[in-house]
Every structure is written in C-alpha cells, then in structure tokens.
Amino acid sequence: MYFVIEGPIADVDSTTAPDAYHPALVLVVDAAGELEQVVIPNALLNGDLARFSVGARVTIHGYQVEDAALGAIPRIAHSVSIEPQFD
C-alpha cells in the first residue's frame, strides 16, 4: 500500500542489527496529531543526516510492507522532501 505522510519530525532514531532494514534512519513524524514511524533507507540520506532534525517539516512518499520477521507493517520511504528552514 502506498502512503504520503506530511508534518514535522518529532524524533529521529536509527535501526539496529538485526532489524530487517538495518542500517537505516527511522523518523517519527507528527502527521496531524498522529505519530507515524517511517524507515528512511540509507540510499535516500545522501550522507546528510543534519537535514533530518527534530522540527523540520517533511513530506514522505513510500509504501507499507508486511514483514513477518518483524511482526509489523513498516512504512518504507522511497522519497523524502524537506521544507527549507529559515532562521
């Protein structure tokens, strides 16, 4: 199933071994009052972790994957855009 999540980043975490998607970043996004976790694969990070900071507004497109090994249905991003922040 395809999804789009928009909102500010509420928390930033990372996967750990033996997580199925390790190594990857995990964003918790406040989407209209609901906290949604999304796995951001390393290929989307481009080595720039600093732009994924708490409070930054993001739009994430991706898909949900049923993962029997995790006993969950994780959301996996295939694109992420971050709104520019001005001081």
At 50, is the pLDDT very low, low, confident or very high (cuts 50, 70, 90)? confident
Q: Is residue 36 part of a domain?
A: yes
Give the count of domains, the chain: 1
Q: Is residue 34 part of a domain?
A: yes
Q: Is residue 53 part of a domain?
A: yes
| 28: Cβ contacts below 8 Å, ≥ 6 apart | 9, 10, 11, 12, 13, 35, 36, 37
Q: Is residue 17 part of a domain?
A: yes
**Residue 74 confidence (pLDDT):** 83
Q: Is residue 45 part of a domain?
A: yes
**Residue 13 confidence (pLDDT):** 93
Range of the domain at 20: 2-82
How far, in Å, are 1, 52, 68 from residue 13 at the CA level? 24, 10, 22
Q: Is residue 76 part of a domain?
A: yes
Enter the pTM of the model. Answer: 0.84
Spatial separation of the C-alpha atoms in residues 84 and 2, rounded to whole Å: 25
Q: Is residue 87 part of a domain?
A: no
CATH of the domain at 22: 2.40.50.140
